[in-house]
A = this chain, B = another copy of it.
Amino acid sequence: MSEQLTLYTAKICPYAQRTEIALAEADARFTRYEIDLRNKPEWYLPKVPAIAYGGPQVPPDQPSPESVKLNESLVLVEFVADLYPNSGILPKDPVLRAKARLFIDAVSNKFSPANFSVVHNDGDPEQLVQALEHLQSLLPPTGFAVGEYSLADIAIAPFLGRLHLNLANDLGGFPEGKGEGERILKLLQSPKLARFQEYTKALLDRPSFVATFDKDHILQSGKRRFAELRAKKYGA
């Protein structure tokens, strides 16, 4: 891979972190450009994350029309896996690949809606517990989603990192200071989710995760964002 690769990303965004983890796992050389999602530069049109690939070496804030522009986080993770076949994020075995993609399908269609409900406080947190139990049922006895670390783990880790950080700081769509963050966190710590907890710990300890998860920045941005959401929902 000798073409230039520029990643347009935002530390706050879990979708963007997927792509950053993939690039970290691949030990890729790339130009990282942080987009302020609350104040997008005028020249920046697509969603975050996006990759500009190939074309001439140009300053990232002057993207060349000659580079290929790609987006959608899961497409970008597969793209990084294809550019760096030795990154290991795409298993070699077709059956493990299929299992990784089925896990991602469950993340997108079962976990994400339940997680979104907790974040916005418009559903029963018990649904999130059920979604995690389902994901847990897909896990092998030890190791990551398909044993070895893969794109399946990359798909969920950024969301689990933010969920735990937010709940531990009483951040969410629920009212502040009523112990709701702690209560939901306790649901996630139920013994029936023991295997999933072990899996979560391994995900969040992974060096590629740690290196791309700016805890302080995400916490500060989260405080601002949830303050706004709560003001809207419950009045200032």
Measured between beta carbons, the chain B residues less than 8 angstroms from A74 are 101
- With beta carbons under 8 angstroms apart, the residue of B68, B94, B97 that contacts A95 is B68
Measured between beta carbons, the chain B residues less than 8 angstroms from A99 are 70
- Closest CB-CB distance, A139 to chain B, in whole Å? 16
Q: A72-B105, A105-B72 are in contact. Are A78 and B98 (CB under 8 A)?
A: yes
Q: Which of A71, A97, A98 has the most chain B CB within a 10 Å cutoff?
A: A98
Q: Which of A75-90 contact B (CB under 8 A)?
A: 75-76, 78-79, 82-83
- Closest CB-CB distance, A29 to chain B, in whole Å? 16
Q: Is A116 an interface residue (CB 8 A)?
A: no
- With beta carbons under 8 angstroms apart, the residue of B68, B70, B71, B94 that contacts A82 is B94
Count of residues in A whose CB is under 8 Å from the partner chain:
21
User: A residues bordering B, Cβ < 8 Å?
Assistant: 53-54, 68, 70-72, 74-76, 78-79, 82-83, 94-95, 97-99, 101-102, 105
Listed by A's residue number, 19 A-B pairs whose Cβ atoms lie within 8 Å are A53-B95, A54-B95, A70-B95, A70-B99, A70-B102, A71-B102, A72-B101, A72-B102, A72-B105, A74-B101, A75-B98, A75-B101, A75-B102, A75-B105, A78-B101, A79-B94, A79-B98, A82-B97, A83-B94
